[in-house]
A and B are shown apart, each in its own frame.
Chain A
Amino acid sequence: MSPQHHGTTAPQHHGTLPPDDAIIHVSDLVKKFGSFVANDHLTFDVKRGEIFGFLGANGAGKTTAIRILCGLSYPTSGELLVAGYNVYTQREKIKKNIGYMSQKFSLYDDLTVFENIRFYAAIYGLSKKEIYHRAGNLMKKLELEEARNKLIREIPLGWKQKLAFSVAIIHDPKIVFLDEPTGGVDPITRRQFWDMIYEAARSGITVFVTTHYMDEAEYCDRVCIMVDGRIAALDTPMDLRETFHAKTMNDVFLKLARAKTPEGI
């Protein structure tokens, strides 16, 4: 972790984005835990309506950055706007305007399908009438009407993840954060899940997604690759493949992540 780093090693910021095009604006983000620098001068913008892939090895600093963007943790320094709100002073506003889902934490196993939808919709501040209306539409779309009163633990993982995603955007957020949403999911469901991501993006929701499946990196509009707390590369998948003379995103990822210092800091 070199303290002299200027953030100039990678094409991380195009500099041409007009601010009103950026739904997430991150400038010089630093997050330290004691002497450990988890996020080391990150600068990037995420454009409205884009699917933004956020990749990196375990411990590269992805989760730290996501927690800050979701208003769950304060940065040590840096200027950040999420959906137009300041991460230092307007965290509650941020939480109302984003959705969040992860593989590890999505739905409550001991609540039913409907109870989960109602719970999240209420947390996101929807009215009772609106909750019933949207819950009905959602269950219909996912063909879950018959499973309405089933406990979440009784439904297959694939359904569960699709439901979790739908619940995360039930309040029409400006941005949805997906932290490894498809881990362990079967290959067909994984693709159906991406169909849903595309659909959400087409409806104007910005998607910020992390994944360990490198083929999924190809489905993103732009991909940011983190190595050791820094942005090692940020570009469209096609340009990344060209820049790094790689055939696939997996090769790009291995090239960048392999170049890092040995694990165990």
Chain B
Amino acid sequence: MSDTNTDTRTPLLEFRNINTHYGAVHILKDVNLAIYPGEMVSLLGGNASGKSTTLKTLLGMVTPTSGEVVLDGEVVNDKPTSYRVERGVTMVPENRRLFKRLSVKENLELGAYLRNDKAEIANDLERIYTMFPRVKERLNQKSGTLSGGEQQMVAMGRALMAKPRVLLMDEPSMGLAPALVQTNFELIQQIHEEGIAIFMVEQNANMALSLADRGWVLQTGRVVLDDTAENLLANPELQKSYLGGA
């Protein structure tokens, strides 16, 4: 399936005919994706459809068996995760995965591990404190002692500390109290408005598509739909299988 987007700009991050295997199991099958600077896109799909593998392959934590991962026009298949992180690709992992035994401040600092611009880092820290005042109150607490909502803030803060151009989000609303889900999406919106591209993998498809510009639907490792968010929301088949007919 070819890219239907007519945008002529260079994609920030791109999959060209990606195939991946886990042992003998074929996970991603000829997947093509493109994420452009500053946009918000969403990847939908059921369990075991290959969403997490897509994210890990983008970051270099999984090596594709064929095809190309392209970052700013450069093939980065054999580049380590740190190389991609340095060039602005960052992820907020599923379930947040904070370093629970490290303090909140240390978690944030580790987000900026590859940066050496001390003054800028201090600046960014301040920015995150203003964004999440509750985080500032808990700076020296071990992050494992925080509530789910607070942990989500730290996880986003930690990702932002890497100064990303594109933020990959793996199920950002999973495990959050329903009341927090809305706040969480507002935060994502807020980050997006600062010009950071968002690539969101989300079960809550309605919510995700209402924010996103475009979306893909992944089924058993294959991209079966690739369209604008409005069209996807209006797609009756998708409504039936993923959006709960809402």
Chain B binds chain A: no
